[in-house]
Structure 1
């Protein structure tokens, strides 16, 4: 089981994620919908495509642009389509209980 927590609150939990470039990409249905809000920030990865960001809210705290996903990734990154990754530098803790 892989979990993402922010200030003690579980914001995502999945049996499997896609691990890519040091990040766990959680399936969309494994992320708690009430903990994120859309951001206007977009970035371009030369091989994955355009990432869309979200702010994360939990436990009375907010982390701006702390989650991102690729709604329409390039064919090379199709396995992460719609999956959500979190920025550990924002205080989000990812735990892989398998290791």
Structure 2
């Protein structure tokens, strides 16, 4: 799977975790050069507290387009250390 925005591959992994239709990429497979911290947070009743990153490519910013659960609840433990994308970031299968 790949996460692409503004024609750049932000993340690529053969092993994502799918939760509620979203692909969570292992953090090690995400190019952190394209992420900047966001002050935005949210809460999910079964996953816990959520934090966000802005996706920035060639000077263009997509606010809060990546999210993660730093300390997920036990029932969502499988997404610990993973990052997911939305807001126009294309997540698709690779041909390789």
CA distance in 2, matches of 1:80, 1:13: 16
The unaligned stretches of length 5 or more in structure 2 are: none
Give me the TM-score of the superposition, normalised by structure 2: 0.94
CA distance in 2, matches of 1:64, 1:37: 9
The unaligned stretches of length 5 or more in structure 1 are: none
Aligned length: 95
CA distance in 2, matches of 1:5, 1:96: 11
Give me the TM-score of the superposition, normalised by structure 1: 0.92
The 5-angstrom pairing of residues 31-42 of structure 1 reads 31-42=30-41
Q: CA RMSD in A?
A: 1.1
Q: Choose the corresponding residue for 1:92, options 85, 89, 94.
A: 89
The 5-angstrom pairing of residues 1-16 of structure 1 reads 2-16=1-15
The 5-angstrom pairing of residues 1-99 of structure 1 reads 2-87=1-86, 90-97=87-94
